[in-house]
Structure 1
Amino acid sequence: MTPALELRNVSKTYPPPTTVTALCDVDFTVQRGETVAITGASGAGKSTLLSILGTLERPSGGTVRIAGTDTSTMSDTQLSGVRAWHIGFVFQQFFLLDHLSVLENVATGLVYRGVATSIRREHATQALERVGLAGRMRHRPAQLSGGEQQRVAIARALVGRPAVLLADEPTGNLDTANGHEIVNLLATLRETDEGTTVVLITHNNDVAAAMERKIQLQDGRIVHDSGATG
């Protein structure tokens, strides 16, 4: 089976006047259905790595493959297509539109695919059922708890059945109880029929522990990978 993600000798250096090497020789493969936590101190390169995995930034060197597709030489338009079809994003902030219902918010995740409205709503319904919000579809974001709003954001990321879901500190704005629920949800997404590859960035050891694999960065390099082979 084609891996969800493959990085080979990936580096990222930001140019002068403040030359910074954010990543150096990062090399790993994530198989479909894996749940991975990327950890490390502030400045270790976590956010840069997530941006490169999500094709929001280009590496200075090396190769990034997403669902088997080499993104190294793609145009910006082609990369937008990769994000629309293969990647789901979840952030610390929920970024929900207050004037739209929960169902409509989730359906926006398919807008850039040119999918008919009826199909968008059907898939959004399925995604909300998957995250346990079947009874909240007609609510507005302001009527939901923080944990429920993050579930909506996860459903929006999942609605297009992406090859990989990338999460940046997904529990950062939640209390302990809601954070625990979100972590459990992310950790068990692979157990559904569709199976979901999850890669998240976190400073929280409890969040990292819920993922089956841990990759630790230090000064832009991988210093530990619990799933490494060979």
Structure 2
Amino acid sequence: MTPALELQQVSKTYPPPTTVTALSDVDLVVRRGETVAITGASGAGKSTLLSILGTLERPSAGTVRIAGTDTSTMSDPQLSGVRAWHIGFVFQQFFLLDHLSVLENVATGLMYRGLPAGERRRRAAEALDRVGLADRMRHRPTQLSGGERQRVAIARAVVGRPAVLLADEPTGNLDTANGREIVRLLATLRDTDEDTTVVLITHNGAVAEAMERQIRLQDGRIVDDTGVTA
């Protein structure tokens, strides 16, 4: 089966005045349906790796394949299309628009699909039901708790049924109980859509252990990967 994500000899160096090598010759294969935690100290390259996996940044060298397709020669509009149709993002900050309802916030996840407004709202309502917020869709983000706002952000990320869900510290702004709920929710979503791949960054050991596979970065290199066997 074609991997969901594949990196071959990927490096990322940021140019002067402060030259930084964030990733060095990274090889990585993530299979469809895997749940993966990326860990490591601050500055290890975790966020850079996630950005490259999500085509938000281009590598300085190497090859990035999404579902078998080489993205290295794609134009920016083509990469935008890959993100719109194949990848969902969840961040530590919720990035919700306070002047929109919860339903409207989730519907923005389909803005680049070319769907009519009514269809976007219908799918947004379904996504909110999946994350247990069907009774909050008319609320504004300011009327929700932190855990509820992160569930809205997850609904927005999965409303288009992406093949890959990338999450950057999704529990970082939440208390322990809400953090556990978000991890449980991510696992439930993966179990519902068996081909959905979940890759998240975390500093939380319990969150990492909840994922099937743990990858540890150090100085821009993978130094440990429980998905690799001898």
**TM-score under structure 2 length normalisation:** 0.96
1:3-82 correspondence to structure 2 within 5 Å: 3-82=3-82
Work out the CA distance in 1 between the residues paired with 2:190 and 2:51: 23
**Quick check: 2:163–2:195 contact (8 Å CA) kept in 1?**
no
Work out the CA distance in 2 between the residues paired with 1:166 and 1:8: 19
1:110-189 correspondence to structure 2 within 5 Å: 110-189=110-189
In the TM superposition, residue 195 of structure 1 has moved relative to its aligned partner by: 4.3
In the TM superposition, residue 229 of structure 1 has moved relative to its aligned partner by: 4.0
% identical equivalent positions: 84
**Quick check: 1:28–1:228 contact (8 Å CA) kept in 2?**
no
AA aligned opposite 2:116? A
AA aligned opposite 2:115? V
**Quick check: 1:131–1:185 contact (8 Å CA) kept in 2?**
yes
AA aligned opposite 1:94? F
Question: Unpaired segments of 5 or more residues in structure 2?
Answer: none
Question: Unpaired segments of 5 or more residues in structure 1?
Answer: none
**Quick check: 1:39–1:202 contact (8 Å CA) kept in 2?**
yes
Work out the CA distance in 1 between the residues paired with 2:195 and 2:174: 25
User: Deviation per CA, 1:80-109, whole angstroms, max 9, x where unpaired?
Assistant: 111111111101111111111111110000
Could you tell me which residue of structure 2 aligns to residue 207 of structure 1? 207
**Quick check: 1:35–1:213 contact (8 Å CA) kept in 2?**
yes
In the alignment of these two chains, the number of paired residues is 230
In the TM superposition, residue 15 of structure 1 has moved relative to its aligned partner by: 1.9
Work out the CA distance in 1 between the residues paired with 2:150 and 2:21: 33
Following TM superposition, the consecutive aligned residue runs of length 4 or more in structure 1 with deviations greater than 3 angstroms are none
Could you tell me which residue of structure 2 aligns to residue 102 of structure 1? 102
AA aligned opposite 1:41? A
In the TM superposition, residue 187 of structure 1 has moved relative to its aligned partner by: 2.3
Work out the CA distance in 2 between the residues paired with 1:59 and 1:224: 21
User: Deviation per CA, 1:113-152, whole angstroms, max 9, x where unpaired?
Assistant: 1111121112111111111112211111111111010000
3-state SS in 1 of match to 2:99: coil
Work out the CA distance in 1 between the residues paired with 2:119 and 2:19: 47
3-state SS in 2 of match to 1:118: helix
User: Deviation per CA, 1:163-188, whole angstroms, max 9, x where unpaired?
Assistant: 11111111111111111101111123
In the TM superposition, residue 193 of structure 1 has moved relative to its aligned partner by: 4.0
In the TM superposition, residue 194 of structure 1 has moved relative to its aligned partner by: 5.4
Work out the CA distance in 1 between the residues paired with 2:184 and 2:207: 9
Cα RMSD between the aligned structures?
1.2
**Quick check: 2:40–2:216 contact (8 Å CA) kept in 1?**
yes
Work out the CA distance in 2 between the residues paired with 1:13 and 1:103: 40
